[in-house]
């Protein structure tokens, strides 16, 4: 029987301000959790009531009463709050936060109270796939009675861990996907001590907020700073990964694209078969990721290898990891195959919000690709996407500041394109005019979603809806 936790007495009756209700669960679940434990809530968000209606209705349906300050913030609310729950999208130098007595996030509340074993994953791209693959295998292990308890998945993947905090025991596993912003909010707190910390590919991202890669990556480093030698840190064999592995207090493990020398802990993706291999303690080469997996792309193989190394260090057998990773179905919004019409296969890769990710999507397929790309710029370099676009059968652009930047580069490279379209329907019609049987049409924007969409997931849902209506 799960013992009910006693919520800290100091929250009962406290005036708690939720800064950023949002639409993905963080602010919503913080409000639910704190209200259930006696807090008096005020919710403030720069978005208006109409935009936030889905989250507000969920709070009301749960019987949670709160005072709402929407469309603006009031400095008095921050000064009078005993506790402010910060949305990770809010910069830490916000003048409102500077007037706050105490600041927490849904992640910090969770980490302070969770009794479960923790696996944490971050990176620029691949963190959601890697987190979900680890959770998939841990869940499969429990279905086969290899582990006690339950496996949970939360964090930046749009599931607040506060949704399951009150049910956790020490026998459970929690996989947390953590963004740089979420990690930055934890910096210096020493709340985060993952049994396994996984860092996926590091690429330029959010430079409109950070200004420089070093500042961006500094927040990523928080993931392992609370570890010790009982924990493992898994990172890539590149310059960023090497710097992580050199400084982590945990045990370093590397994933690479070439065989590792004896004595180096980790694994590699075999060049010919693209299997993920690891050298066992006895020196035997063991297959950890099978040749055939359900989601295409060499980048996915590296994500699965990173996941496999974490799972192996957690004590699961290599053959079970291999079989389970081979059946991992992938994720919505990440090279998600969702429709086929007239021999054309349609994919949703809306989570590809940086140029490198969109370029990887083009490279993932062995058939002609019609690429739907573009959106809002985040002060990123599009040259790699232009290089990949040479291999695409056609390029179709959505409207946005990033698309205008991309257009200039495509023109310089003499690469034709269609658009930019200011509607998803226009992009779908254009794709249908271009694609033929045997082709792939993939939405892989390489840009942020702001402007035409509420967020990247709204973009993905609207893309799938338009394709299903029109194709």
The answer as to whether 401 is a domain residue is yes
pLDDT tier at 8 (50, 70, 90 boundaries)? low
The verdict on 233 and 276 lying in the same domain is yes
Domain ends where: 88, 104, 120? 104
Write the CATH number for 407. 3.90.190.20
Minimal CA–CA distance to 164: which of 122, 128, 114, 120? 114
Non-local CB neighbours of 276 within 8 Å, separated by 6+ positions = 255, 267, 268, 269, 270, 287, 288, 289, 301, 304, 305, 308, 325
Domain ends where: 104, 133, 150? 104
The answer as to whether 435 is a domain residue is yes
pLDDT for residue 170: 97
The verdict on 275 and 423 lying in the same domain is no
Region at 200 (left for phi over 0; alpha for psi -120 to 50; beta for the rest)? beta
pLDDT for residue 1: 32
- The tokens describing 338, both together, are 């969702």
pLDDT in tens, 376-398: 998 889 999 999 999 999 999 99
**130-148: average pLDDT:** 98
Share of the chain above pLDDT 70, in %: 97
Range(s) of the domain holding residue 361: 336-470
The verdict on 88 and 213 lying in the same domain is no
* Average pLDDT of the residues of the chain: 93
Q: What is the pTM of this model?
A: 0.81
Asked if residue 3 has pLDDT above 60, the reply is no
The verdict on 67 and 115 lying in the same domain is no
The verdict on 123 and 81 lying in the same domain is no
pLDDT in tens, 309-329: 999 999 999 999 999 999 998
Domain ends where: 275, 298, 326? 326
The answer as to whether 221 is a domain residue is yes
Write the CATH number for 69. 3.40.50.720
pLDDT for residue 2: 37
Burial of 214 per CB tally in 10 Å (0-12, 13-18, 19+): exposed
User: Which residues in 237-275 belong to E strands, given as ranges?
Assistant: 251-256, 266-269
pLDDT in tens, 161-210: 999 999 999 999 999 999 999 999 998 888 999 999 999 999 888 888 88
The verdict on 236 and 383 lying in the same domain is no
Burial of 244 per CB tally in 10 Å (0-12, 13-18, 19+): buried
The answer as to whether 30 is a domain residue is yes
The answer as to whether 2 is a domain residue is no
The verdict on 285 and 416 lying in the same domain is no
The verdict on 292 and 350 lying in the same domain is no
The verdict on 215 and 138 lying in the same domain is yes
Minimal CA–CA distance to 87: which of 455, 471, 463, 466? 455
Counted domains in the chain: 3
The verdict on 391 and 307 lying in the same domain is no
pLDDT for residue 280: 81
The verdict on 80 and 142 lying in the same domain is no
The verdict on 82 and 116 lying in the same domain is no
């Amino acid at each position: 029987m799960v013992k009910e936790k006693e919520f800290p007495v100091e929250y009962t009756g406290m005036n708690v301000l939720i800064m950023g209700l949002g639409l993905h669960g963080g602010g919503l679940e913080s409000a639910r959790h704190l209200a259930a434990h006696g807090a008096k809530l005020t919710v403030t968000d720069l978005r208006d009531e109409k935009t936030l209606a889905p989250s507000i209705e969920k709070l009301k349906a749960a019987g949670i009463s709160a005072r709402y300050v929407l469309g603006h913030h009031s400095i008095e609310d921050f000064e009078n709050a005993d506790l402010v729950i910060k949305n990770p999208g809010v910069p830490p130098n916000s003048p409102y936060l500077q007037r706050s007595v105490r600041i927490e996030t849904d992640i910090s509340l969770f980490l302070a109270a969770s009794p479960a074993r923790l696996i944490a994953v971050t990176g620029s791209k691949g963190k959601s796939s890697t987190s979900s693959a680890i959770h998939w295998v841990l869940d499969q292990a429990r279905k086969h009675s290899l582990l006690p308890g339950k496996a949970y998945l939360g964090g930046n993947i749009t599931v607040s861990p506060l949704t399951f905090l009150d049910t956790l025991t020490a026998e459970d596993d929690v996989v947390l996907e953590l963004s740089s912003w979420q990690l930055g909010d934890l910096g210096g707190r020493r709340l985060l001590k993952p049994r396994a910390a996984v860092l996926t590919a590091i690429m330029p991202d959010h430079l409109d907020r950070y200004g420089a890669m070093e500042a961006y990556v500094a927040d990523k480093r928080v993931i392992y700073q609370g570890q010790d030698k009982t924990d493992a840190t898994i990172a890539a064999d590149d310059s960023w990964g090497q710097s992580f592995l050199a400084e982590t207090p945990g045990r370093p493990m590397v994933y690479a694209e070439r065989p590792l020398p004896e004595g180096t802990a980790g694994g590699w993706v075999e060049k010919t078969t693209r299997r993920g291999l690891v050298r066992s303690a006895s020196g035997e080469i063991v297959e950890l990721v099978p040749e055939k997996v359900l989601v295409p792309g060499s980048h996915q193989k590296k994500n699965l290898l990173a996941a496999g190394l974490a799972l192996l260090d957690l004590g699961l057998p290599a053959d079970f990891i291999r079989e389970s990773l081979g059946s991992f179905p992938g994720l919505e919004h990440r090279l998600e195959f969702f429709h086929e019409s007239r021999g054309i296969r349609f994919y949703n890769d809306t989570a590809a919000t940086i140029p490198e990710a969109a370029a990887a999507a083009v490279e993932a397929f062995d058939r002609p690709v019609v690429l739907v790309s573009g959106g809002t710029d985040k002060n990123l370099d599009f040259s790699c996407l232009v290089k990949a676009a040479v291999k695409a059968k056609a390029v179709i652009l959505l409207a946005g500041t990033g698309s205008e930047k991309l257009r200039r580069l495509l023109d310089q490279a003499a690469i034709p394109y269609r658009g930019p379209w200011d509607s998803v329907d226009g992009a779908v019609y254009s794709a249908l005019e271009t694609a033929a049987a045997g082709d792939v049409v993939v939405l892989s924007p390489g840009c942020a979603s702001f402007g035409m969409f509420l967020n990247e997931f709204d973009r993905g849902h609207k893309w799938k809806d338009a394709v299903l209506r029109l194709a």
